[in-house]
Structure 1
Amino acid sequence: MDLALRFLPHAPGEYLLPLPQSLPGQEVAGVFLSQKPLEAYEARGTLWARFALREGEALELRFRLKSYPVRETPPWRRALLQEPPEAWPGILAHRGHKVERALGFLLSGRPHTWFLVDGAPLDPLLHQTLRENPAHLLPLGVVPDPGVYLGGHEGKRLLLLKAPWPGEESLLWQELRALRPDPLPPLRALAFASLGLSALGLPTGPWPYLPYLALLAFRQGPALKDLLRRSPRHALESLLFHAFALSVSLNPRPELGLGYLALFFWNRLRPSSATPPKSPEEA
């Protein structure tokens, strides 16, 4: 996967930025910088480079990333399940473990922060989010079990900076994007434009919607099968939406739309628990 990081300074000066490197869960190659750094060095497990930038002069770093899931079973994971997720880093630090903040991006381009405990990933935020909404990472094509985040992660992220915990250090990189154009957004725009025309009485048929649906099925199909097993009502919400969308372009079925809306609100008013009772995690 070819990616680019971008930083745009708001004032002239020297800026110290972390560089991507190969670590557990990610292999980085083919790094190219739009500007030569003043210096580069390694400190606290992070690669750093210093740049002299003018105001408004964008710095871009291009690289090739191969990411993969991390699966570890540290001895502390079972003890944490009885505690609130927001307290996990403090509990582990109190017990003598080395806790660091990990700053980077999810491959959707959204900045994300998690923790490293003796080097093993710990992500309380996504653990809790996926317990409430197992479909949260479906756009990335994964539906991981929440327990993965106690010692691992889903393999759809980039770690850039290891920082002390507690601490206030932030990530200066402002954007992570794919270098190759993604066909999904224009196909989505075409699909929803056709739905709008059909709703206005100008039927377009299903053909403008089908390429978008086919690409979505290719990217999310295996994950949707996992979601159907883990939380059928969240999977059904997605299926009902597309069924209703197709019906709009052919023969509108209001009951499909009402079913989708009912599930949409039900899934948000009644959060799921992705770990069933008496599972090995809670035993």
Structure 2
Amino acid sequence: MFSVRLALRFRALKAGEHLLPLPADLPGQRVWDLALSKRPLEVYEASGNALARFALEEGEVLEVRFSLRPEPLAHDPPWREALLREPPEAWPGILAHRGHRVERALGFLLSGRPHTWFLVDGLPLDPVLFQALKEDPAHLLPLGVAPRPRVYLGGHEGKRLLLMRAPWPGEEVPMWEGLRSLDPDPLPPARALALGALGLSALGLPTGPWPYLPYLLLLALRQGKALKDLFPTAPLRALEAPLFHAFALSVTLDPRPELGLGFLALFFWNRLRPSSGVPPESPEGA
């Protein structure tokens, strides 16, 4: 398990009172050290949500900082197999028609992207990521995970923040605008150094592999386990990254065009036929 220090941000478009959800302990996440940039008028709990009301001026920015320990959830609900025979966009309606309690779950992926999924009798259901992973098994590789699509029928990958449960169907509810990490991230500067070395090498000023290796090491630490998990289910998709980095390293030493051509061929093959990276016998490719 890991923990991260995060910040949520909200800018008031008009003066007045604004009601916002606060991060709280929920299944799949533990929250502590919560600090608000402004004192709320009131804090209360309603329908399983921690809510705070703020008086804000037009253009005023509100921020909440907190520590989060997310965890993956894995359940095997009785409705999973039946849903696999239906289109994902129809899942919430099917379950509601069968008498299940269906709610919207509003929050963020830890990449900072807002994300909405569903809770069915309290269990996660994420048709969007199910479909995204069917089309591209490496869709969540930047988050360091490569879950199988069926995980999202009753669970999730453990790289998200749930902020609010809302009725489904229902009206739009006020929400925080952005999520960012407060922990230092060495990957962007390492990436810039690596790309700079590639650029110089391509211009005929070989730098050797040393400027590229820190970036490669950080990527391996962040995505290595996910790549290993990806190989059994989507070997062609998993080969893309190693092939690209092999070509990049060759550019800094002794350029090998065949590696670059191989990467491009594999890249376009996987994009034109996303399911080609999944073995036919795998249930994820069915």
Length-normalised TM-score, structure 2: 0.95
Larger mean Cα displacement after TM superposition, 270-279 or 160-169: 270-279
CA distance, structure 2, for counterparts of residue 45 and residue 273 of structure 1? 43
Native 8 Å contact 1:132 1:273 kept in 2: no
Map 1:1-283 → 2, pairs under 5 A: 1-272=4-275
> In the TM superposition, what whole-angstrom CA distance separates every residue of 1:96-122 from its partner, at most 9, and x where no partner exists?
111001010001111111000000000
Native 8 Å contact 1:195 1:248 kept in 2: yes
Native 8 Å contact 1:41 1:48 kept in 2: yes
> CA separation of 1:142/1:130 partners in 2, compared to 1, >3 Å: closer, same or farther?
same
CA distance, structure 2, for counterparts of residue 21 and residue 230 of structure 1? 35
Shift of 1:170: 3.9
CA distance, structure 2, for counterparts of residue 135 and residue 259 of structure 1? 19
CA distance, structure 2, for counterparts of residue 228 and residue 41 of structure 1? 47
Tell me the SS of whatever aligns to 2:232. Answer: helix
CA distance, structure 2, for counterparts of residue 155 and residue 28 of structure 1? 14
Identity across matched positions, percent = 73
CA distance, structure 2, for counterparts of residue 99 and residue 217 of structure 1? 39
| Residue type at the aligned position of 2:44 | Y
Shift of 1:276: 5.9
| Residue type at the aligned position of 1:154 | E
Structure 2: give runs of 5+ residues left out of the alignment. none
Shift of 1:8: 1.3
Shift of 1:194: 1.2
CA distance, structure 2, for counterparts of residue 281 and residue 240 of structure 1? 24
CA distance, structure 2, for counterparts of residue 44 and residue 3 of structure 1? 24
Tell me the SS of whatever aligns to 2:274. Answer: coil
> CA separation of 1:174/1:275 partners in 2, compared to 1, >3 Å: closer, same or farther?
same
Length-normalised TM-score, structure 1: 0.96
> CA separation of 1:202/1:277 partners in 2, compared to 1, >3 Å: closer, same or farther?
closer
CA distance, structure 2, for counterparts of residue 256 and residue 179 of structure 1? 38
Question: Cα RMSD (Å) of the superposition?
Answer: 1.7
CA distance, structure 2, for counterparts of residue 234 and residue 170 of structure 1? 38
Native 8 Å contact 2:11 2:61 kept in 1: yes
Tell me the SS of whatever aligns to 2:231. Answer: helix
Tell me the SS of whatever aligns to 1:75. Answer: coil
Tell me the SS of whatever aligns to 1:129. Answer: helix
Tell me the SS of whatever aligns to 2:275. Answer: coil
CA distance, structure 2, for counterparts of residue 210 and residue 267 of structure 1? 27
| Residue type at the aligned position of 1:174 | E
CA distance, structure 1, for counterparts of residue 30 and residue 53 of structure 2? 23
Structure 1: give runs of 5+ residues left out of the alignment. none
Native 8 Å contact 1:122 1:150 kept in 2: yes
> In the TM superposition, what whole-angstrom CA distance separates every residue of 1:36-86 from its partner, at most 9, and x where no partner exists?
000111111111101111122211101110011101111111100100000
> In the TM superposition, what whole-angstrom CA distance separates every residue of 1:221-263 from its partner, at most 9, and x where no partner exists?
1111111122110111111111111111111111111111111
> CA separation of 1:275/1:213 partners in 2, compared to 1, >3 Å: closer, same or farther?
closer
| Residue type at the aligned position of 2:273 | R
CA distance, structure 2, for counterparts of residue 42 and residue 233 of structure 1? 48
